[in-house]
């Protein structure tokens, strides 16, 4: 696993068959352009997003490029004490995007 800022890190890496993106924010299109250009044929890109806008921007760009895109929303809760019991306190949902490169 490489933990460096995209898209700058792409030039120094061998051709991947999988890319996992953590967000992307304002740079998401540039990251997708450079990352998908380096991805091996049949490769898979996975991204997780905290905002709907960033996820939709990635989905729109990937769809326009012919990628097969799937979305999922994940909701987690944390156990917290309440008096002499435990309750669930929901955390912010996260959107997951999985995309397969066109063959």
- φ, ψ for residue 76 (rounded to 5)? -120, 155
Q: Which helix (H) or strand (E) holds 52?
A: helix 52-64
Comparing 8 with 92, the larger pLDDT belongs to: 92
Q: What is the pLDDT of residues 67-93, one digit of tens each?
A: 999 999 999 999 999 999 999 999 999
Q: Is the pLDDT of residue 9 over 80?
A: no
pLDDT at 24: 67
Answering whether pTM is above 0.85, one says no
pLDDT at 25: 76
Q: What is the pLDDT of residues 22-47, one digit of tens each?
A: 876 788 899 899 889 989 888 999 99
Residues 6+ apart with CB under 8 A from 15: 38, 39, 40
């Amino acid at each position: 696993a490489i933990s460096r800022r995209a898209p700058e890190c792409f030039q120094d890496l061998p051709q991947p068959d999988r890319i996992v993106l953590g967000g992307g924010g304002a740079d998401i299109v540039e990251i997708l352009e450079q990352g998908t250009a380096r991805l091996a044929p049949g490769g898979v890109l996975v991204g997780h997003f905290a905002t709907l806008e960033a996820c939709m921007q990635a989905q729109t760009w990937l769809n326009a490029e012919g990628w097969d895109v799937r979305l999922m929303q994940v909701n987690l809760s944390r156990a917290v004490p309440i008096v002499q019991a435990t309750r669930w306190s929901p955390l912010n949902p996260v959107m997951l995007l999985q995309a397969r490169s066109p063959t």
